[in-house]
Amino acid sequence: MNYIVFDLEWNQSSTPEGEVSAIPFEIIEIGAVKLDDAKRKIGSFHELIRPSVYQKMHRITGKLIHLKMDELENADRFPNVAKRFLAWCGSDVTFCTWGPLDLTELQRNMAYYHMPPLSHGPLPFLDVQKLFSISCEDKKSRRSLEHAIDFLKIEKDIPFHRAFSDAYYTAKVLQRLDHDIESNISFDLFQKPSSRKDEVHIVFDDYAKYISRKFADKQDALKDREVCSTKCYYCHKNIKRKIRWFTPNGKHYYSLSFCDVHGYMKGKIRIRRDAGDDGVYIVKTLKFVSDEDARKIKERQERIRELRREKRIRSKSS
């Protein structure tokens, strides 16, 4: 297995009216570094791409990456470059990016040109930005690539903000991380699970994640037993909910359960919609929390109940 550490630069419309919804960001450069399973560099890839959708460089994009439109005139079109890139990648690979956006935009551009998808469901990848936070900081912050390079005291021997250079530095960060990176895999959700057998169930170091197939709507999803279950991911047994699923905003739902062995477990359901589709899918996380965190969840539920009671009273009196 090899690691494909890649970065993209893309252009976009200069006006909202000129945006093509199927491809809001058009890739104009691909840069990548290939590492073997011991994270040793074994290859590199870099190509510019001649745009077909947005013929004028967005002023912020051009200023950031120092690339002019006339430099792309002799480059090849995206489908040809993407085919060469994927052939260079090979078959047994794990994609690695700084942040979660590049893999989604690569697949969106491929879909626009009717290229075969990279997968038929959620695609596992390594978010090196997240891994840096887990290994070196607080697990929650998301820092810039240059911050990570400075933190790890990696030599800055080429400029930032071009596809190959950012892939090069991302690979340098990945090589320095000692944490068990495979235990913190991320999932790109450009392709959703198409059936129950394709759904994602995964347990990380300190939480569990479930990614559902598509449902007709939110109400349909929240009737599903698997969506609403709160199973201890250590004991593998369903545990009783102390607080049933509640929502402060209609998009996120929370619950609190209790395992006799492992204590309080917080549940969180996020309702996600497919762009241009009426259906929804669910991302659920389960995580054991402290007694203090459990108390805060209870207080939050009570505040929401009280606000709803006040709203009903005002509605009746008006």
Q: What does the pLDDT read at residue 44?
A: 98
pLDDT in tens, 154-166: 999 988 889 999 9
Q: What does the pLDDT read at residue 273?
A: 85
Is the separation of the CB atoms in 140 and 167 below 8 Å? no
* 270 has a pLDDT exceeding 80: yes
Mean pLDDT of all residues in 271-279 = 77
* 275 has a pLDDT exceeding 80: no
The domain spans of the chain are 2-184, 194-314
> Is the pTM above the cut of 0.95?
no
- At the topology level, CATH places domain 2-184 in Nucleotidyltransferase; domain 5 (3.30.420)
* 317 has a pLDDT exceeding 90: no
Q: What are the distances in angstroms from CA 164 to CA 5, 48, 89, 107, 252?
A: 10, 10, 15, 19, 38
Q: What are the distances in angstroms from CA 48 to CA 31, 72, 75?
A: 9, 7, 6
Q: Which of 63-72, 75-84, 270-279 has the lowest mean pLDDT?
A: 270-279
pLDDT in tens, 130-177: 999 999 999 889 999 999 999 999 999 988 889 999 999 999 999 999
* 45 has a pLDDT exceeding 90: yes
* 281 has a pLDDT exceeding 80: yes
Q: What does the pLDDT read at residue 47?
A: 98
